[in-house]
A and B are shown apart, each in its own frame.
Chain A
């Protein structure tokens, strides 16, 4: 008995019992998803899959196998994006075996057909899992990009003073991006002072310090003085114990201090306005 003919017989059997199988399958899947997808929605998805599956099993419809895989990939991709677990996603396919087995359990002559069918479903289940993992990887990559974008703004603090608040770990990719943004902004605005605020940088080791120094010396080549601010007490201790030298780069405790320093250097002053006293004009 060859695989093709047993698959065709199984397809014919499943077509005869389509409604029963799909109902049971939807029931199992809906239970697994614990109400996060409505029963009607699940039923619609599975109806489509089942129809494709029958076409693929009939053996005469070549493109159906590709379509079935594409449909499964789309389904598992959307599951991945909506935060379903891999088990929930894969179970959606494997539940079909249970649904069919409940029907064929009493008919002994369908055992070889069922085994062939089971292998096919296993294969599809693995395919689902693979696309699920790929979709998740894609999400992670997108988020990393978004974080890189989010975490490197260059802001104007004052006329001629710009600031780069650094948040998160400063690796070489980040440094490169920060450097490019900073220098572009320097050229565009003509700022003469730049503040690198490292309040949001969790740890400063020799590598991070190296990156900071690089950024500072690149800015200096464009004629801009850099001030490093936001040095926390623990970070100061680490810097000293590692023997990192900031040389003649001004370092300040807070962004406010750095701004005051920059204004002072450029000869600007902020004065408190004398409060008007009532009744004296």
Chain B
């Protein structure tokens, strides 16, 4: 099973999704992220989905779940690098990801977290 690495940069955890997500790897990622958050006390999570070309309701729900988990640890989630086609698909699916903040790229995502901290 492929694992998604979680990188710690200062008080931010950086997750870049570059594999085709399967159920198991998603569950694993959520567990790993919860562990990391409790261990490091990070205040922000950046999820980079630049490499994700296809989304469905499953991935949409995963993103929302990660947002909820992070909030329990008082960390803010920022979703970065979404492609236009993906944004249109998510909107058509009726998933507007209300609990998650979004930014165009990783740089802006970091600025968003640092600005609000």
User: Hey, which chain A residues are within 8 Å of B82, CB to CB?
Assistant: 221-222
CB of B14, distance to nearest CB on chain A (Å): 16
Give Cα A219 to B78, complex, Å: 15
Q: Which of B60-117 contact A (CB under 8 A)?
A: 78-80, 82-84, 86-88, 90-92, 96-97, 101-105, 108-109, 112
Q: Quick check: A221 and B90 within 8 Å, CB to CB? A: yes
User: Hey, which chain B residues are within 8 Å of A222, CB to CB?
Assistant: 82, 84, 87, 102, 104
CB of B24, distance to nearest CB on chain A (Å): 26
Q: Quick check: A179 and B96 within 8 Å, CB to CB? A: no
Question: Residues 185-218 of chain A: 1 if any B CB is under 8 Å from the residue's CB, otherwise 0?
Answer: 0110010100000000000000000000010011
| A174 at the binding interface (Cβ < 8 Å) | no
Question: Residues 210-239 of chain A: 1 if any B CB is under 8 Å from the residue's CB, otherwise 0?
Answer: 000010011111111000000000000000
| A255 at the binding interface (Cβ < 8 Å) | no
| A41 at the binding interface (Cβ < 8 Å) | no
Chain A CB count within 10 A is highest, among B78, B83, B84, B92, for B84
Query: How many residues belonging to B are interface residues under a CB distance threshold of 8 Å?
Result: 22
CB of A102, distance to nearest CB on chain B (Å): 67
Which residue of A186, A190, A221 contacts B91 across the interface (Cβ within 8 Å)? Answer: A221
User: Hey, which chain B residues are within 8 Å of A192, CB to CB?
Assistant: 104, 108
CB of B21, distance to nearest CB on chain A (Å): 18
The secondary structure that dominates the B interface is mixed
Q: Which of A42-78 contact B (CB under 8 A)?
A: none
CB of B31, distance to nearest CB on chain A (Å): 26
User: Hey, which chain B residues are within 8 Å of A220, CB to CB?
Assistant: 96, 102
CB of B106, distance to nearest CB on chain A (Å): 11
CB of B95, distance to nearest CB on chain A (Å): 9
Q: Quick check: A180 and B104 within 8 Å, CB to CB? A: no
Q: Quick check: A187 and B104 within 8 Å, CB to CB? A: yes
User: Hey, which chain A residues are within 8 Å of B109, CB to CB?
Assistant: 223
Interface size band for A = 10 to 19
| A183 at the binding interface (Cβ < 8 Å) | yes
Give Cα A219 to B88, complex, Å: 9
Question: Residues 163-193 of chain A: 1 if any B CB is under 8 Å from the residue's CB, otherwise 0?
Answer: 0000000000000100110011011001010
Residues A217 and B80 in contact in the complex (CB < 8 Å), given A190-B104, A190-B108, A224-B104 = no
Which residue of B91, B104, B105 contacts A217 across the interface (Cβ within 8 Å)? Answer: B91
Question: Residues 16-38 of chain B: 1 if any A CB is under 8 Å from the residue's CB, otherwise 0?
Answer: 00000000000000000000000
Residues A180 and B84 in contact in the complex (CB < 8 Å), given A222-B102, A223-B104 = yes
Q: Quick check: B84 and A223 within 8 Å, CB to CB? A: no
Q: Quick check: B108 and A223 within 8 Å, CB to CB? A: yes
Which residue of B84, B88, B97 contacts A187 across the interface (Cβ within 8 Å)? Answer: B84
Known: A179-B88, A192-B104, A218-B87. 6 other contacts (CB 8 A): A190-B108, A192-B108, A217-B96, A218-B88, A220-B102, A223-B78
Chain B residues packing against A (C-beta within 8 Å): 78-80, 82-84, 86-88, 90-92, 96-97, 101-105, 108-109, 112
Chain A residues packing against B (C-beta within 8 Å): 176, 179-180, 183-184, 186-187, 190, 192, 214, 217-224
15 contacts between A and B (CB under 8 A): A183-B84, A183-B87, A187-B84, A190-B105, A217-B91, A217-B96, A218-B87, A219-B87, A220-B96, A221-B90, A221-B91, A221-B96, A222-B82, A223-B80, A223-B101
